Amino acid sequence: MGGVQPVVGVLALQGAFAAHERALAQVGVATRQVRVPAQLDGLDGLVMPGGESTTMSRLLHTSGLFDPLQAALRDGLPVFGTCAGMILLATTVLDGRPDQRSFAVIDIAVRRNGYGRQIDSFETELDVAGEDRPFHAVFIRAPKVESIGPAVEVLAEHEGVPVLAREGAALVASFHPELTDDARLHRLFVHQTGILK
């Protein structure tokens, strides 16, 4: 069977974007680093990695990416946000800077560094809906979900708090799935959003 290989962009302003590229390659999609608006053209999806959310918000503005990316997300571009990416996709950021903007594509309220500072980072096993074995999750200065809207589907929890959720074409994780050798969540993203048939 022929056909064009799907291309998923990886926001490459900050964070472990190279690790996301490796995970996406494992599941059979090509990647493109996204730093300027023209690099959004023709993408089948986008990954927004971790990093420092206020810095990423500022870089999205200075690069001119914020508005065209917001338009693409509103048009249904599938997106997977991890850690800071989750914050940027949330409708409400409870302790963000006054000038911090988010894309508001998933109806959740998050608290930045809700699990504590760098010293409070931890790893744990998560039961993920639809998966037959636990997923090893790495939490680093992770955002904490404080509330979710009625259309949000929770796929995994840690101590009763959602840490993996989706709504429409958006998938978000409080943790860093790219920091393991397990590409199942990247596979979940590309299959459930129709990037890979």
- Backbone φ/ψ region at 28: left (φ over 0), alpha (ψ -120 to 50), beta: left
Catalytic residue among 21, 83, 167, 186: 83
First to last CA, the chain: 12
Answer yes or no: 83 catalytic: yes
Using an 8 Å Cβ cutoff, are 55 and 83 in contact? Answer: no
Alpha helix stretches (DSSP H) within 75-157: 84-89
Catalytic residue status for 20:
no
Choosing from 20, 21, 158, 178, which is the catalytic residue? Answer: 178
Active-site residue, selected from the candidate residues 21, 158, 167, 176 = 176
β-pairing verdict for 135-139 and 153-158: unpaired
- Annotated catalytic residue 21: no
Q: Which residues contact 170 (CB under 8 A, 6 or more apart)?
A: 73, 78, 79, 80, 81, 89, 105, 106
Active site residues: 83, 176, 178
